[in-house]
Structure 1
Amino acid sequence: MECIDSHLMSVPLVALNVTVRNKLGLYLNPKNTVASDWAAVAEAVGYSYLEIKNFERSKSPTKTVLDDWQARSTDATVGKLLSILTEKERKDIVEDLRPLIDEDVRKYFESLKKKAEPPVQVHEVDSCLPRPAPERIGITLEDDPEGAPELFDAFICYCQSDFDFVHEMIQQLEQTDHKLKLCVFDRDVLPGSCVWTITSELIEKRCKRMVVVISDEYLDSDACDFQTKFALSLCPGARNKRLIPVVYKPMKKPFPSILRFLTVCDYTRPCTQTWFWKRLAKALALP
């Protein structure tokens, strides 16, 4: 269970809505001599005996603890809460509420995406004219505004300093017998559109998978951080193998924690370079 929840360690507790919090209360509020209750969770996150006794007077101690925890600590994350429930042998709660939690996390990242988009200024509004669906507007070189949108096998998430490796990736995966179609933002996307909007649409609707080129520079890129978290929100637990991390050079900084639960394609080891491209191509070609 721990590896499944690793990507949630960076998702703040505020992502959980009222419905999930109320359901947590239904499980944890009643005093239970057999199973751990809200007090055990409060103790695990660092509350003292006196604080816990004070929480008892609340209508829903569980909700009060969660609200107070998220207000006072940056450690208050969805992943941390699930980890505590698992450690306290309340896997029944985790299993029952996981679908609702995954949906809340998806909506949370969706709201982040919308907040990042600039407001649209429309000078003329004509409600009589039908607007084309967003996915059919020409946003890539091969898009036909009147036809089907251009589709790709994978979106490549990278920062500019790693573009030489991305260029090699193009040669190895597109210009060989693998014949894969990659979405490389600098090459395939037409200029003039909102970066966040276009990126989100490409990842969610146009590309089957996303290759994440990991490097020290990647860790400092706001764009790469957004793309990775957005893609993770579309596939909680990586159940459909949507993200494929690739490391092509040694790193000085720690590997990103939100990707540690995924199998990595490592180009840094000479002994594995022989089958590196074949292995990556096979993963991208899966249905």
Structure 2
Amino acid sequence: MKADYDAFLICNPKGEDREFADQLVDTMQDSPYNLKICVPWRVTDGRCNARDCIRERCRCKRCIVILSSNFYKSEEAVSQLEFAYSLSPGFKERLILPICLNICEVPSYLQQISKLELYNMNARKWLWERLYLSLISHKNKAPEKQTKNLPDVVKSANIRN
């Protein structure tokens, strides 16, 4: 069965979090990415029950969580994140993709996985491509045009003994 959405968005739906969330959704749903993001406050057809979308992988394959200093002001967002984590403890299924808008408290269970850190200007440059590749990683092959602009991390490390 084909998924209804590529990702479910978890964030505080107010302030800068909402502004970034709207930008993220508009960018990821537009060309060249053409992904479908489920955003609870945008869905008007009644099909988006947060827990059902998160639980049923056929509804949403992944969850994007936007973390910020405002995140914990939304009980609903915190509850959705905890629920998503409970479905994939230890991140065996890589269900959650965290994005940090600013330096903020990160739940202990998210500290061991890679996060997109927007307060890091170097990370901003590659944000959309990295997010896209993370969301489509289940397909095991990214389109050539999306990966050619990413820096070669292994080559640039050039570690010598």
CA distance in 1, matches of 2:69, 2:121: 20
Which of 118, 130, 152 aligns to 1:279? It is 130
CA distance in 1, matches of 2:33, 2:96: 19
1:258 aligns with 2:118: no
CA distance in 1, matches of 2:33, 2:3: 19
Q: What is aligned with 1:228?
A: 81
Map Cα deviations across residues 19-66 of structure 1 (whole Å, 9 max, x no partner).
Answer: xxxxxxxxxxxxxxxxxxxxxxxxxxxxxxxxxxxxxxxxxxxxxxxx
For structure 1, the 5+ residue unaligned runs are 1-147
Change (3 A) 1:188 1:150: farther
Q: What is aligned with 1:244?
A: 97
Q: Confirm or deny: 8 A CA contact 2:11 2:71 kept in the other structure.
A: yes
Higher helix proportion: 1
Change (3 A) 1:270 1:149: closer
Q: What is aligned with 1:269?
A: 120
Map Cα deviations across residues 158-191 of structure 1 (whole Å, 9 max, x no partner).
Answer: 1122111011102221112111110011112446
CA distance in 1, matches of 2:72, 2:22: 20
Which of 182, 192, 199 aligns to 2:37? It is 182
Look up the SS of the partner of 2:112 in the other structure: coil
The size of the alignment, in residue pairs, is: 134
1:163 aligns with 2:57: no
Q: What is aligned with 2:27?
A: 172
Q: Confirm or deny: 8 A CA contact 2:69 2:102 kept in the other structure.
A: no
Q: What is aligned with 1:72?
A: none
Change (3 A) 1:202 1:189: farther
Q: Which amino acid aligns with 2:36?
A: K
CA distance in 1, matches of 2:31, 2:2: 24
Look up the SS of the partner of 2:32 in the other structure: coil
For structure 2, the 5+ residue unaligned runs are 139-161
What TM-score does the superposition give when structure 2 sets the normalisation length? 0.75
Q: Confirm or deny: 8 A CA contact 1:180 1:285 kept in the other structure.
A: no
Higher strand proportion: 2
Q: What is aligned with 1:24?
A: none
Q: What is aligned with 1:128?
A: none
CA distance in 1, matches of 2:21, 2:36: 13
Q: Which amino acid aligns with 1:166?
A: A
RMSD: 2.1
Which of 59, 71, 77 aligns to 1:218? It is 71
What TM-score does the superposition give when structure 1 sets the normalisation length? 0.44
Q: Which amino acid aligns with 1:167?
A: D
Look up the SS of the partner of 2:126 in the other structure: helix
Which structure carries more relative contact order (alpha carbon 8 Å, separation 6+)?
Answer: 2
CA distance in 2, matches of 1:149, 1:187: 21
CA distance in 2, matches of 1:185, 1:149: 20
- Share of identical aligned residues, percent? 25
Q: Which amino acid aligns with 1:229?
A: E
In terms of Rg, which structure is larger?
Answer: 1
Matches within 5 A, 1:69-218: 151-161=4-14, 162-190=17-45, 198-205=49-56, 206-218=59-71
Q: Confirm or deny: 8 A CA contact 2:100 2:116 kept in the other structure.
A: yes
Change (3 A) 1:266 1:155: same
